[in-house]
Amino acid sequence: MPDFPRKARIATEAMRTLFEPTPLQRNEHLSAHYGAEIWLKREDLSPVRSYKIRGALNAMRKAVDHQDVFVCASAGNHAQGVAFVCRHFGVKGVIFMPITTPQQKVNKTRIFGGDNIEIRLVGDYFDDTLASARSYCNEVGAHFLPPFDDVDVIEGQASVAVEMLEQLGRAPDMVVLPVGGGGLSSGIKSYLSEQAPDTEIRYVEPAGAPSLTVAIAKGRPVTLDKVDSFVDGAAVARIGEENFKELKDVPANKILLAPEDRICSTMVEMLNVEGIVLEPAGALSVDALPDLAGQIKDKTVVCVTSGGNFDFERLPEVKERAQRYLGLKKY
């Protein structure tokens, strides 16, 4: 992506019209546990409790002068980002969400968008929702805002990396990223490859939705036959085409698969020990640390906690799955 760092910095400047940089916080608990310097880039503390506001703002700011109706499909976090930005620009947004979207995310999307948005619940899986949104967009001639498979969205998500390097004041030894459709990971990889080429990157996918793993193995994006929707913010059946252009050279051994039950134990630990509320996708980077323990000792590591939109009605299930992973329950 030529000239990508400059575009990512321009996108970062645009973010300041809506919110301050999200915190980069050294986590004492994790640092002590792993004998490393563990920092959390707290995207769960953005105005919409995820990084998705970044891609939405960057894409919409480039189109708002010639378009006043925007359409998106989202499992929740992209929807909230689009809703927030629609209200900011005073334009109409039609937001398609899977039927399985947690109610907390649906309600917050309505709050962020107010009278500027309309929500349509369609499809059991994200890819069905996406198809419906694209069809509607073509019918009415609106501007479609992809959740990840779009160069402007990728530029916007890269602003996470711009802020991180400025806040840390140096390049970290390693950055650990969650992967769903690839918007965040392709954006950060593009920026760091130019601005911090010595920084290692690890990519973490839900075990039940390994879209990047399969794409790397096949050499192209592949639609998964089955997806476990538990990690709803990253349960994507196919990595984005634009995203894979940047991620296609990722070594297979740099991709980690996080078991859903272990993710639950990480969520519970972060809540109980740190008071940090993470959704399943938001916990992916921290959840991978046990697998990286032998590689990160005495290193500076940044984990991107990508979202905190957790519906507490799911807490009993999360606690039960965590106990099952820890061997405290036998079923």
**Residue 28 burial (CB count, 10 A):** 10
Query: How far is residue 200 from each of residues 46, 52, 171, measured CA to CA in Å?
Result: 25, 23, 10
The side-by-side arrangement of strands in the sheet containing 117-121 is 117-121, 92-97, 69-73, 143-144
Nearest-angstrom CA–CA distance, 9 and 11: 5
Task: Give me the sign of the Cα torsion angle 245, 6, 70, 141.
Answer: negative
- Our answer to whether residue 52 is catalytic in this structure is yes
- Our answer to whether residue 306 is catalytic in this structure is yes
Nearest-angstrom CA–CA distance, 290 and 286: 9
Q: What DSSP line would sit under 18-72, residue for residue?
A: T-PPPPEEE-HHHHHHHTSEEEEEEGGGSTTSBTHHHHHHHHHHTTTTT--EEEE
CATH 3.40.50.1100 fits 52-149, yes or no: yes
Helices (H), the chain: 4-15, 28-34, 52-61, 77-89, 103-113, 126-140, 151-157, 159-168, 183-195, 211-218, 241-247, 260-269, 284-287, 289-296, 315-325
Find the catalytic residue in 50, 186, 211, 306: 306
pLDDT tens over the chain, length 331 residues: 569 999 999 999 999 999 999 999 999 999 999 999 999 999 999 999 999 999 999 999 999 999 989 999 887 889 999 999 999 999 999 999 989 887 877 888 999 999 999 999 999 877 788 899 999 999 999 999 999 999 999 999 999 999 999 999 999 999 999 999 999 999 999 999 999 999 999 999 999 999 999 999 999 999 999 999 899 889 899 999 999 999 999 999 999 999 999 999 999 999 999 999 999 999 999 999 999 999 999 999 999 999 998 988 899 999 999 999 988 765 5
Same fold, 4-50+152-325 and 52-149: yes
pTM of the entire predicted model: 0.94
* Residue ranges covered by each domain of the chain: 4-50+152-325, 52-149
Tokens of 326: 């820890």
Nearest-angstrom CA–CA distance, 322 and 69: 43
**Of the candidates 318, 307, 161, which has an alpha carbon nearest to the alpha carbon of residue 230?**
318
Q: What is the pLDDT of residues 132-173, one digit of tens each?
A: 999 999 999 999 999 999 999 999 999 999 999 999 999 999
Nearest-angstrom CA–CA distance, 205 and 238: 12
4-50+152-325, which class in CATH?
Answer: alpha beta
- For residue 329, the model assigns a pLDDT of 64
Task: Please tell me the number of Cα atoms within 13 Å of 323 on its side-chain side.
Answer: 10
Nearest-angstrom CA–CA distance, 15 and 21: 8
What SS3 class is residue 167? helix
Query: How far is residue 27 from each of residues 8, 36, 265, measured CA to CA in Å?
Result: 27, 10, 18
Q: What is the pLDDT of residues 188-202, one digit of tens each?
A: 999 999 999 999 999
- For residue 172, the model assigns a pLDDT of 98
Find the catalytic residue in 52, 105, 108, 189: 52
